């Protein structure tokens, strides 16, 4: 493994289909809002990012956003990452899509040192996925694991005076109950961006945790969401 590995990063946990290659100081990236269409576009986007180069000659590590987020989207990203890694015997690195959103907000200059950041993704079932962290100017210190809850039940850590909310869960802002959340700055347009994550992982700003492809798996947070199979649905549902 070279000291500055060539990173191919991808994330499809949200409506964004994001893919980037960072190699030899050059960043090639594609980031498109493609709700429910990731599987139809991601391989074409990969071809555009590689620009005709062979995967085996261009990549040392495949980094994949593992959620939480869209059930179908997570399966697209993980299956593509595993397939590419298996085909070339490459290691993989899974990263939290909620954490990635905080780094995106930091890269865009939306965060100040000491901000308590709530990264959110709309779970589409009247709930949201969330993750708290504190931004120190270059990296985030996480305040716990990802969670899922109703907007009215979001836990707020002690001392979260300057709160910032990023991600699609900000759409629930009228349902937030905690005063600190009602007064928080909102950046609902933020999504995970592979073009931000790839350079951070390559430079060591975010430590790589390499593993074989078969160990990569989505981070669902909640497994018993309560969806019904079509055969279990009545006409009145």
Q: Which pLDDT tens digit goes with each residue over 61-70? A: 999 999 999 9
| Listed residue (44, 66, 54) closest to 23, CA to CA | 54
Torsion of CA 218, 219, 220, 221, to 10 degrees: 170
How is domain 98-187 classified at the architecture level of CATH?
2-Layer Sandwich (3.30)
User: Does position 226 have pLDDT exceeding 80, yes or no?
Assistant: no
pLDDT tens readout for residues 99-153: 999 999 999 999 999 999 999 999 988 999 999 999 999 999 999 999 999 999 9
Check if the beta carbon of residue 17 is closer than 8 Å to that of residue 38.
yes
Q: What is the pTM of this model?
A: 0.92
Q: What are the angstrom distances between the C-alpha of 40 and each of 44, 67, 195?
A: 8, 20, 20
User: Does position 161 have pLDDT exceeding 80, yes or no?
Assistant: no
CATH 3.30.420.40 location in the chain: 7-96+192-215, 98-187
7-96+192-215 CATH fold: Nucleotidyltransferase; domain 5 (3.30.420)
| Residue tagged 């002690």 (tokens) | 158
User: Does position 187 have pLDDT exceeding 60, yes or no?
Assistant: yes
| Listed residue (2, 7, 72) closest to 218, CA to CA | 72
């Amino acid at each position: 493994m070279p000291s500055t590995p060539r990173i191919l990063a991808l994330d499809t946990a949200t409506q964004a289909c994001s893919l980037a290659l960072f190699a030899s100081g050059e960043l090639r990236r594609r980031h498109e809002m493609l709700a429910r269409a990731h599987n139809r576009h991601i391989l074409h986007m990969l071809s555009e990012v590689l620009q005709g180069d062979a995967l085996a000659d261009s990549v040392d590590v495949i980094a994949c956003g593992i959620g939480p987020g869209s059930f179908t989207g997570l399966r697209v990203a993980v299956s593509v990452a595993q397939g590419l890694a298996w085909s070339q015997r490459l290691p993989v690195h899974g990263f939290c899509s909620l954490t990635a959103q905080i780094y995106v907000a930091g890269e865009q200059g939306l965060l100040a040192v000491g901000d308590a950041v709530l990264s959110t993704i709309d779970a589409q079932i009247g709930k949201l996925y969330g993750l708290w962290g504190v931004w120190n100017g270059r990296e985030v210190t996480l305040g716990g694991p990802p969670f899922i809850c109703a907007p009215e039940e979001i836990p707020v850590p002690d001392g979260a005076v300057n709160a910032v909310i990023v991600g699609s869960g900000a759409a629930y802002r009228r349902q937030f109950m905690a005063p600190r959340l009602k007064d928080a700055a909102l950046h609902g347009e933020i999504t995970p961006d592979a073009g931000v994550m790839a350079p951070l992982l390559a430079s060591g700003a975010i430590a790589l945790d390499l593993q074989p492809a078969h160990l990569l798996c989505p981070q669902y947070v909640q497994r018993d969401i309560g969806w019904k199979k079509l055969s279990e649905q009545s006409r009145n549902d």
